[in-house]
Structure 1
Amino acid sequence: MQIYHFRCKNCGYESKLPLGSSDLDQTLTDVNADYAQYRLFICKVESKFVHADIHDKDFEERCPSDGSKLIEIDETILPVKCPSCNKELVTEVSAPLEEQT
């Protein structure tokens, strides 16, 4: 799992989201109920990024705050435009704190 820090110098939008799986050795099986894989989505209603565990049984591709349909962002291509103002977005990627020691 990596921490993605998105910042827009134009409008001030900022978001830090964990994306990926929590353990690189973790694999999805029928009996592995705690497997989590966080992916990046955009909520067009609120103009913000949202992360969600796609294997959560309650996840229905809806924004948790307004219930609108989320749009998944291709995980192989980092977003380059701010979801709020559509200007250039600065993205920094780092490891979670427990992995940095």
Structure 2
Amino acid sequence: NGPISDEWDILALQEPALNTLGNTRASTHWRVVYPDHKYTHGEKPRAVTLVNLKISTNTWRQVPFLSRDVVVIQLDTSSRKCTVINVYNDNNHDNTI
């Protein structure tokens, strides 16, 4: 078993551990993508997406979404676009959806 970055291109994290600045920790193999609105009403983000550094920033972009619970990225491949949506739901309601 090698590093997870050798096996995965994108990781969708829920309830990430955050430091006092509201940032999560990731190894140097990943780009951290936070929700567009990292803080909504003073609350911390509950979804974070990690994109492997092997994927060029010229081939993907973050899509704006007004929620601290949603991260949307879109990848451009040679044949089509692929949209990855990371949604956090707390099991008490479906307000995010």
TM-score, length-normalised on structure 1? 0.26
TM-score, length-normalised on structure 2? 0.27
Relative contact order: is structure 1 or structure 2 higher (C-alpha 8 Å, sep ≥ 6)? 1
